[in-house]
Amino acid sequence: MREEVKIKILQSLLNEVTKKYDYFIANRERVYKETYEMAVKDSLTGLYNRQYFEDFVVKSIKKGLRENRDFSVIFIDLDNFKPINDNYGHAKGDEVLKKVAELFKQTFRDYDIIARIGGDEFVVVIENLSNKDRIEEVRKVFEEAFKDFNLSFSYGVVNLKEIEPESLNEEEILNFMLILADRRMYEEKMERKRWRK
């Protein structure tokens, strides 16, 4: 066999091996990405799930305490969501939750962490929240988008710097932040109900 023919055969074999290797790597990366997405995302809304949120906040607490940086957790609970399930069925409720998730993605910043932690409960981790104007703007857009369902939300905010961390580890600080934000959300919800009467 002539040398030129041998070289062409070897090049052809090499190209075939390279194609199969590229396919294998791309397929492995796709499976890895899909597995990761399933582990950290809520299957209905595509937002982050509670586990990812908790892991992220624990790391943020460590970094915040080390670098003296603050961040806020916003606890959001939808108002008047139950009648949607009761009157239109759970499929419609799921559809509304997906639209809520999309609206939150569009109205909060790209780098804010938004998670669904329960049926109609959401949390947002946000840096540099100097006042509540941004949340009020989100609520205004939200109420306009869902006015046909009379849907709104109540929220409570807690900042890392409000917590006295001396005797608490990161997980305990996270739990305390969630309890405090939830309590403030509930107080706001009750206040809004009184205001509407």
Q: 4-37 pLDDT, tens per residue?
A: 888 898 899 999 989 989 988 888 888 888 888 8
Give this prediction's pTM.
0.85
Nearest Cα residue to 77 out of 97, 98, 62, 63? 97
Nearest Cα residue to 138 out of 100, 170, 88? 100
Please count the other Cβ atoms lying within 10 Å of the Cβ belonging to residue 122: 25
Q: 147-173 pLDDT, tens per residue?
A: 999 999 999 999 999 988 788 999 999
CB distance 48 to 41 below 8 Å: yes
Helix axes 50-67, 170-196, angle to 10 degrees: 110
